[in-house]
Amino acid sequence: MFVAPAFAQEAADQAVGETHTETGVAEGGAHEGAFPPFDASTYPSQLLWLAITFGLFYLFLKRVVLPRIGSILEVRRDRIAQDLDQAARMKEEADAAVAAYEQELAEARKKASQIAQEARDNAKAEAEAERRKVEAGLDAKLKDAEDRIAEIKTSALKDVGAIAEDTAAAIVQELVGGKVDKASLSAAVKASQQ
């Protein structure tokens, strides 16, 4: 609301000599200029009310507020202790789980190593058996080949004498131009083979 300067002057003129409803003291009364809490004549009553108010406030704090704060702190301390205990238990469980995991992992590695070693041993044994089998087959084939070579050599050596006699007879006949004695030719070929 806007107040015109003339209305404000008129209201101020009417207010002179009236009592203020807020303080109950007429304007320009006995306490003019002094703030009531700083008035020296009211100090004893102010000190009395200060002591009574302080005492009541102290009792209120001691009987109501501090026990509540203490109980809240106790509950929080208990909760923190429980949380720390639970965290310690969970850490122990986690450590135990990690140890069990590591032990199982070590056992699995050991088992895998054993399985791999067994597989290597089995493969080596199978390869050795296969090698022996192949060697036995090769030895048998080699013996058969040697036997055949010996037979061929023996038959060839049997026929060499006859072939040598026939060849020598043919050569002598061509050179000499006559018949050759087979007994002397046979003796000469046998003498050359030894």
Roughly how many angstroms between the first and final C-alpha of the chain, as a whole number?
A: 160
Average pLDDT for residues 70-88, to the nearest whole number?
Answer: 96
CA dihedral 72, 78, 84, 88 (to 10 degrees): -160
Q: What is the pLDDT of residues 146-186, one digit of tens each?
A: 999 988 888 877 777 777 778 877 887 787 776 777 777 77
Return d(Cα 8, Cα 1) in angstroms, integer: 12
Residue 180 near residue 169 (C-beta atoms within 8 A):
yes
Given a cut of 60, whether residue 77 has pLDDT beyond it is: yes
Average pLDDT for residues 46-72, to the nearest whole number?
Answer: 95
How confident is the model at residue 186, as a pLDDT? Answer: 77
Return d(Cα 103, Cα 70) in angstroms, integer: 49
pTM attached to this predicted model: 0.38
Nearest to residue 164, comparing CAs of 147, 140, 188, 148?
188
Return the HEC string of 58-118. Answer: HHHHHHHHHHHHHHHHHHHHHHHHHHHHHHHHHHHHHHHHHHHHHHHHHHHHHHHHHHHHH
How confident is the model at residue 30, as a pLDDT? Answer: 52
Average pLDDT for residues 1-9, to the nearest whole number?
Answer: 58
Given a cut of 90, whether residue 65 has pLDDT beyond it is: yes
Q: Among residues of the chain, what percentage have pLDDT more than 90?
A: 53
How confident is the model at residue 37, as a pLDDT? Answer: 79
| 107 class by beta-carbon count within 10 Å (0-12 exposed, 13-18 middle, 19+ buried) | exposed
How confident is the model at residue 108, as a pLDDT? Answer: 95
